[in-house]
Amino acid sequence: MKKLPDLLPLTAPVFHILLALADEERHGYGIMQDVARQTNDALQLGPGTLYGCLKRMLAAGLVEESDERELDDERRRYYRMTALGRSTVRAEAARLAGAVSAAKARLGLAGGK
Amino acid sequence: MLGLLCRIYSVMLYAYPREFRLRYGVEMQQFFHDRCRELARAHAGRGAWLRFVLRNLSDWIVSIVRERRALKLVQEWAVTILLFLFVTTSMVQAYVVPTGSMENNILVGDHMLVDKVGFENGGSNWASYVLPHREVKRGDIIAFRYPEDVRQTYVKRVIGLPGDHIRLENKQVIRNGQKLDERYVRHSSPGIDDYRDNFPTAPDLYTLGGGREMFAGHVQDGEVIVPPDTLFVLGDNRDNSLDSRYWGFVPSNYVTGKPLVIYWSYDAPTSDYVEWNFRHVEDVALHFFSKTRWDRTLKTP
């Protein structure tokens, strides 16, 4: 399992997939729909990209397959975020917030004024 | 259309590395299917479908490259390339319509993709054994090799299946004693030509080899009887179509497929599509936007 700093920065798909799994476990299609909602359709994951990311995220221990769920349909597997995934996405959000405030300070884009 | 997309996608999955496909293939297929269903339910326009197809194609290519980056073996890549060739040559085929015999449903200059696996076609294409298919039905529009010259592809509508009795009475098709209600037909000349409109009479100057065989062996009591393993086809532009009336039946293993979608329709005369000429290239370069029939793009014939 990797340490946090190795995982940052996250790619946009990985970041949004983690956010999609922040409040509940979802299957692949549900993840795609939630990511589209989060980004106002700016990021629409295709199946190859989505499952490629999931594969790497499973390997890194950011997500895991949900085993408790009664499988209503064996063609859909559900994924959920691990504790490592949660701390990673928090760390990434903090990193992004830092980057955004630096950008605001330099470019004079300060909120409201 | 939807079924075919899912079928093509399930074959495209074979381009991924084996372990990846075994682990995620079923889920990806389900994902793709869900997305198609959602688009269909939303009555997505042609633009939306086109975007969907293009987006999935780029997703496919990008993710294959990513998943295969670890694999340096040339053999692994060979599979991907072979698969790409298979999809483009065996499953669909691009085809340009040179004549107006199917107007107003198919126009001169319609560039379309022909689905080569949708029909059971006598084993001329092994993919049709592996993948789901259905038999040709009456009323289907089909693409087939022209019996008088197999290098040419023709597109017509199936009127008679094996065993059907067909005749025309003043342009009205009568099949097995019943008048057909053919809303797709266009009549371009008001006059009656006995050979054409009161078919079958007797062979004339315009009857080709296959047509003469038909008159000699398969006409009974003023009706054509379609023999086994063949089809009787007519053009929708009924008064101006060289079809089964003139050259006889289409052997069912000559059927190449079903026109799937028109991907580009360009307004140019028949001569430009029969023979390649530089003037046509120039014409397209100059008038691409004005002479492309945009309203026909992504239409299903």
Q: What is the pLDDT of residues A71-99, one digit of tens each?
A: 566 668 899 999 999 999 999 999 999 99
Q: Does residue B35 sit at the A interface (CB-CB below 8 Å)?
A: yes
pTM of the model: 0.54
In terms of phi and psi (left: phi > 0; alpha: psi -120 to 50; beta: otherwise), the region of B221 is left
Q: Reply yes or no on whether the pLDDT at B260 is more than 60.
A: yes
Question: A67 in helix, strand or coil?
Answer: coil
Q: Do A76 and B67 touch (CB under 8 A)?
A: no
Task: Nearest chain A residue to B66 by CA: give it.
Answer: A52
What CATH number does domain A9-105 carry, 1.10.10.10, 3.30.43.10, 3.40.50.720, 3.30.420.40?
1.10.10.10
* A51: confidence class by pLDDT, cuts 50, 70, 90: very high
Alpha carbons A31 and A44: distance in angstroms, whole number: 10
Lowest mean pLDDT among A9-18, A65-74, B179-188: A65-74
Q: Which percentage of chain B shows pLDDT scores above 70?
A: 89
Alpha carbons B64 and B83: distance in angstroms, whole number: 12
Of B26, B34, B64, the CB nearest to A48: B64
The residue ranges of every structural domain in chain A are 9-105
The residue ranges of every structural domain in chain B are 2-72, 134-258
Q: What is the CATH number of domain B134-258?
A: 2.10.109.10
Of B30, B35, B62, the CB nearest to A76: B30
The pLDDT tens digits for B40-76 are 898 877 778 888 888 888 888 888 888 877 655 565 6
Min Cα distance A98 → chain B (Å) is 30
Radius of gyration, alpha carbons of chain B: 22
Cβ–Cβ under 8 Å, residues B143 and B281: no
Cβ–Cβ under 8 Å, residues B66 and A52: yes
| Helices then strands, each counted (H, E), chain A | 5, 3
Task: Nearest chain B residue to A44 by CA: give it.
Answer: B55
Q: Do A46 and B63 touch (CB under 8 A)?
A: yes
Task: Nearest chain B residue to A46 by CA: give it.
Answer: B59
- Residues written for chain A: 113
The pLDDT tens digits for B170-198 are 999 999 999 999 988 988 888 889 899 99
Alpha carbons B61 and B56: distance in angstroms, whole number: 9
- Residues written for chain B: 301
Which residues on chain A are in Cβ contact (under 8 Å) with B24? 51, 54-55
For residue A108, give the DSSP letter: T
Which residues on chain A are in Cβ contact (under 8 Å) with B34? 29
- Which pLDDT score is estimated for B88? 65
- Which pLDDT score is estimated for A111? 52
Q: Reply yes or no on whether the pLDDT at B125 is more than 90.
A: no
Q: Report which of residues B250 and A7 the model is more confident about.
A: B250
Q: Report which of residues A109 and B204 the model is more confident about.
A: B204
Please choose, from the candidates B106, B82, B93, B28, the residue with its C-alpha nearest in 3D space to the C-alpha of residue B60.
B28
